[in-house]
Structure formats: structure tokens, C-alpha cells
Structure 1
Amino acid sequence: MPAPSRAFPGSASPFAGATAFVTGGQGFVGAHLCERLLAEGARVVVPRRDVHPDSRFRREGVEARCDLVDCDLADFASLQRVLAEEGVELVFHLAAQTIVGTANRAPLSTFESNVRGTWLLLEACRSVSDQLRGVVVASSDKAYGQAEQLPYTEDTPLQPRYPYDVSKACADLIARSYAATFGLPVAVLRLANIYGPGDLNWSRIVPETCRALAEGRRPVLRSDGSPRRDFLHVADAVEAYLAVARSLTVPGLAGRAWNAGSGRPLAVIELVERLIELAGNSIAPEVRGAGTPRGEIDEQWLDSRAIASELGWRPQVELDAGLASTYQWYRAFLAEKATAASA
């Protein structure tokens, strides 16, 4: 059964009237989460930082509806001040270095962002724990590393090997230690590969394939197309964040890690071929790789039965519908950019 939720005082929605602090709010998933929290009636506070002018956070008006604050995520005193002064009740920690290839090239900055940034934030949260109702820390299926048995369940040991995967596992463990040791209302959300409108990280397979198809180019695969992944639409990822946040008002659910994915693995080549078909194109992808690129994991997908049975979350966006709408967003976005450039 879904866990009961406790509304914030005087509200119909569990989030109406609450102040939510979203690190990484300017990013792909963060912008969607901010937008959803605003729709629920929350006040959304986001650390001020440089924003890509083409980001959804700015282009689609999310930024204008959030309260931006000067906050250095690498500085404990800065974090503590913002949490206290803004009266933050909910924290969603999404700020991270999120690209596997970048992590392999620059492990130091990745560990600084993903690991140190997490413990500084959690320590700041501990200092204002009397006002906090919940902290949700973003993790990833990458935290599990290579496993002999799939899908991953929440009890699968974390055995990462590569820098990005290790950084997510470290943040995951640190977060849960704050619940076990200090009673902080914190939980971890381990998500599958997220896709959807607004992701401008062109090194990822869905954005780059959509861009290639919109521009009439052959999509490029860095692998041989055989690696299998679990793909989850960003709208479903956001609903998972909200479900986990609601769970933290229920006694006994702090300190949990939750999986959220489709549970249906798909080979990368199949994903690209689906996008080609949905785009109404007959172009063939360009396969440049052999096997799985070094530093990446061959097969990954999640068992999400726990979050479904205990919190009532299930993915709602069917893959083909999600890919089709995502492609249409990129096509419109790129056409607008091209028109502006030629004006």
C-alpha cells in the first residue's frame, strides 16, 4: 500500500506552502523538479549559478518563478546560512557532475562535487534539523557497479569500479549514514537513465540522436550498440522524487534507498532505431564502437517493486510516447535556434 502522506499545515498538497531547496535546479532533471514543485504550491529556492541560456530553466520561465540565492555548495557556512535564513523544510540534492566520460577524465572534480558536496550539504542540514521535514539525495543505478544478477534490487551490494559510479555510491552511503547516526530524515533515490525534453548534454544517447535526426545526420554510437540500459522519462523521475519526499513524513522510512526505473532493459541500438522510426526517417546509425566503452557498464536495469508497493510510484510514460514527444521537443528547439541564428 502507498505510504500515507502528511500535508504541510493548512495545505491540500503535501508540498503546498513548503519551502524546498533544490540543488542542481538549473539542470535537466532539476528544472523539471522545480517546475513540478511550483505546480504543487511550494516555494522553490535554488542556488544561484551560471545558467546556460538555452536551458529549460531559463527559456521556459522556471527561473523567474524560483527564488535564487547566493550559495556556495562547496562552503558549509554558506549552506548553513541559506538553509536557516530561507526556512528550508525540504531539500532535493541533485547537484552533481553527471557525465560518466567527464568523470573518467576529471575524477578529482567529480569527487569534489559528488562526494564532498553531499557531506557538506548533509552536515548543514543536520545543523537545522529542527526545521527539516525531508532530504532526498539523488543517486543512480551506476552506484551498483557491475552485478552478476540483474535487475538490481535495493539489497544488491554497491560494488562500483569507475569514478562516476564510485562517487554516486559514496554519496549514497554518506546520505544513509546521516539517517542511521543522527536521525536526519534523509532518503536516497537510485534512478535509471533519464531522458526527456531539455537535456542539453549532447554526449548522452537520446539528446544527440534527436539532434542528429533533426539535422539530417546519421546518429553515432560510441559502442557497438549492444549495451542494455533502463530508460525512464524525466516526468516519471520527478514523480519518484516527490514520492520519496512524501515518505519521509512516515515514521521508519528515513534512511531508505529506493530504485526507480522502467525495469525493461533496452539495447542502445534498439533505442536509436526506435527514435529513427519515430522521426519518420530511414537513415542508418553509424556504429563506431566495439563492445562497451571503457569505464562504462555493459548491462544495467532496476527492480522498482519496493517503491511501487510501498510508496505507490510506477512509471506512467510509455517509452515510444516518451521518445516521440522528446524528439518533437528537440526538433522545435533546434529549429528555433536555427531561425534565430539566421535572423
Structure 2
Amino acid sequence: MRVLVTGGAGFIGSHFTRLLLSDALPGLSVSAVTVLDLLTYAGDPGVPAALEGDPRFRFVRGDVCDAGLVASLTAEADAVVHFAAESHVDRSIEGAADFVRTNVLGTQTLLEGALRGGVGRFVHVSTDEVYGSIASGSWTEDRPLEPNSPYAASKAASDLMARAYHRTHGLDVRTTRCCNNYGPGQFPEKVIPLFTTNLLDGEPVPLYGDGGNVREWVHVEDHCRGIALVLAGGRAGAVYNIGGGTELSNRELTGRLLAACGADWSSVRSVPDRKGHDLRYSLDDGLIRRELGYRPRVGFDAGLAGVVGWYRENRGWWEPLKKGRAGGSGSDARAAAAPGGAG
């Protein structure tokens, strides 16, 4: 199988690409993997550099909104796995235009390229945030979309565009909606790496409101395995929720990170809550479990300990990113509560 991975230098896409090339994903064997990534602020140029030795791998720096480039790449692919997206909620609140362009127009451009290029399978990677907020219970895939942030709205629009290309043109599109991801190598504006790196530097961490907002967490490698199952055996036109099984309030998560980093609550600074902040996300992932045998393998406690250890041992990777980030002070409130599920 020849696979085009968009956003493959980003956090989740890079993990997926590495696992794909190491033949570690269920049901998949690849003869060629092409990564298309614009290498914006959250893209890691070290990812393509590390994979250059594999003759099956090719990196193309480019924009998913570039119709000509997309057409040439989809014409050579048997499958597309579409990660590329603007994914940070706070950035979308500050300005939504880039989110609409990349997440909506970029997805439509890829779908059109896949249709015209005869791509056999298209996996559209989305997020639980498209459902809105849920006070109790968990969302199934047929839940109406009620996004509350500009980021979530742009992802919901891209989900509907994917659905339309399946229903109108018969394109084999499969959509995944995942909860919050964590793992090594995540850009340090997201909550777990932001808090971890701040605490390792002896700096305070910013907690939105009373910390009562609840999120579900999954290790990035479990998410990648779920995507692989959908690519290999999912149904055309279907949507699959991918959960992790661990729900924590942001205050509970903060407590675990404080303990892991040897800090206490004196390191926490309460900051004003985010505009339109969703109270709780919770996915019912029974469909992917029943149909495709998905089960998360990485327990949250072990996974979180591994992530904290990774950031402790890889200062050379994250310190330049934090210094270069706009408003990069350790007490910055950006990303203090809930990163995008697919971010």
C-alpha cells in the first residue's frame, strides 16, 4: 500500500508515520509513505530527517490547500491519512481564519484530489471537540455536532465535508474522532508538556478557572493503533470514536503532574477561564471496539510517567521551542486547560 500522510511532521502524524514504517500497526503493510507537511510552528523538521534512511519514505514540504501539489500526490497514493490541521483552541479564539483555511479548505482540497486521483481509502482524523460538551454519559458517533470553539467548528465543518464526498461521490472516507492525546514529543503549548516543562524549570503552571473541566486521555500510540484499524478494516462512510478510558478533571491532571515532577500546589496559578470553555468531553468508543477489536494498551499512570521522563531527558528538544514561542513566559496562560483531541 502507498500511503500519503498529511501533517506527518506533527505530533500525532509523526508517531503514526514512524509506527507505519516500522510495520508496528495492525493490518498494514506499506511499500511507500509520503508525508506532506508545511512545517509550521508545530511541525518538527527532525521527523523527516530521522526517516530519510528508509527507502520507502519521502517528505514533501507543502500546503494541503495547494490543489496542484495535492493532485500530484494523491494520484500516486492508494490511501490518505489526513492529520494536517490547526489544532490549538486558544489560537482559534485569538483568530479563526487560519483554522478555516487549513481545516476546511485544506480538507476539501485533499478530498477532491483523492476523488480525482482514484484513492482507494481516505481516513479523516478528527476530534471529540466537534460534539460540544456533555454533562453526563458519553457521545456515540450519531450524536449531533455542536462545536463551541472556532477550532471545533472548523473540524466539524471538515467532518461534514468528508461525509459529503462519501455520500455524493462514493469516495471511501472513514472518519475518526479521538479524545485528548498525550505522549513524547508533543509541542509544549499543550497542557501536559506545558505543565511538565514549566515544573521541571521550577516555574508556575497556569490552571484555568477552578480546574473542574473534564477531559478523556489516550496515549498517542493507542490513537495511532486505532487509526490503523480503521484504515485497514473500517467501513466506508463510517465514523469511529477512539477513546482512552481515563477521564480526569484538569485539577486532577495537575495534581498528577505536580507529583510526577516533585512539585506542590504552590506552583499553580489560577487564571481566568477560557471563553466558551467546554465543561466535559467523554467518548463512547464501543463501535470501534466491537467492529475492529480496538483496546487501548498504555495505562495512563505508566504513560504519564514515561512522558514526564521523556521531557526530563530531552531538554534540547523543547527548550528552544518554548523560547521561540510567542508569549513564551513560563507563566503564560496559553494552553492551560485542554488541548485539541487530535492536536
Mark yes or no: TM-score above 0.5: yes
Match of 2:260 in 1: 278
Higher relative contact order (CA 8 A, sep 6+): 2
CA contact (8 A) 2:37 2:84 kept: no
Cα 1:59/1:287, change in 2 over 3 Å = farther
Question: Aligned AA for 1:297?
Answer: D
Match of 1:4 in 2: none
Structure 1: 5+ residue stretches without partners: 1-17
Match of 2:303 in 1: 322
What SS class does the counterpart of residue 61 from structure 1 fall into? helix
Cα 1:283/1:142, change in 2 over 3 Å = same
CA contact (8 A) 1:224 1:287 kept: no
What SS class does the counterpart of residue 176 from structure 2 fall into? strand
1:76 Cα deviation from its structure 2 partner: 1.7
* Matching residue within 66, 91, 106 for 1:102: 91
Whole-angstrom distance in 2 between the partners of 1:54 and 1:76: 21
Is 1:212 matched with 2:212? Answer: no
1:228-261 CA distances to partner (integer Å, 9 max, x unpaired)? 000111011110110110124xxxx111111111
Question: Aligned AA for 1:239?
Answer: R
* Matching residue within 260, 274, 289 for 1:308: 289
Match of 1:266 in 2: 248
CA contact (8 A) 1:31 1:57 kept: no
- Counterparts of 1:11-26 in structure 2 under 5 Å? 18-26=1-9
Cα 1:149/1:179, change in 2 over 3 Å = farther
- Counterparts of 1:1-343 in structure 2 under 5 Å? 18-40=1-23, 41-42=29-30, 43-50=32-39, 55=44, 57-58=46-47, 61-62=50-51, 65=54, 66-69=57-60, 71-84=62-75, 87-129=76-118, 132-147=119-134, 149-200=136-187, 202-248=188-234, 253-282=235-264, 284-289=266-271, 292-334=273-315
Question: Aligned AA for 1:289?
Answer: V
1:63 Cα deviation from its structure 2 partner: 5.3
Return the TM-score normalized by structure 2: 0.84
Whole-angstrom distance in 2 between the partners of 1:336 and 1:21: 27
Question: Aligned AA for 1:105?
Answer: E
1:51 Cα deviation from its structure 2 partner: 6.5
1:137 Cα deviation from its structure 2 partner: 0.5
The number of aligned residues is 312
1:122-160 CA distances to partner (integer Å, 9 max, x unpaired)? 01100022xx23111111010001345531111211111
Whole-angstrom distance in 1 between the partners of 2:52 and 2:97: 30
CA contact (8 A) 2:196 2:308 kept: yes
Cα 1:316/1:133, change in 2 over 3 Å = same
CA contact (8 A) 1:33 1:238 kept: yes
RMSD: 2.3
1:295 Cα deviation from its structure 2 partner: 3.0
What SS class does the counterpart of residue 271 from structure 2 fall into? coil
Identity level (%): 32
What SS class does the counterpart of residue 230 from structure 1 fall into? strand
Cα 1:336/1:167, change in 2 over 3 Å = closer
CA contact (8 A) 1:69 1:82 kept: no
CA contact (8 A) 1:26 1:51 kept: no
Whole-angstrom distance in 2 between the partners of 1:315 and 1:135: 23
Cα 1:24/1:338, change in 2 over 3 Å = closer
CA contact (8 A) 1:177 1:255 kept: no
1:78 Cα deviation from its structure 2 partner: 1.8
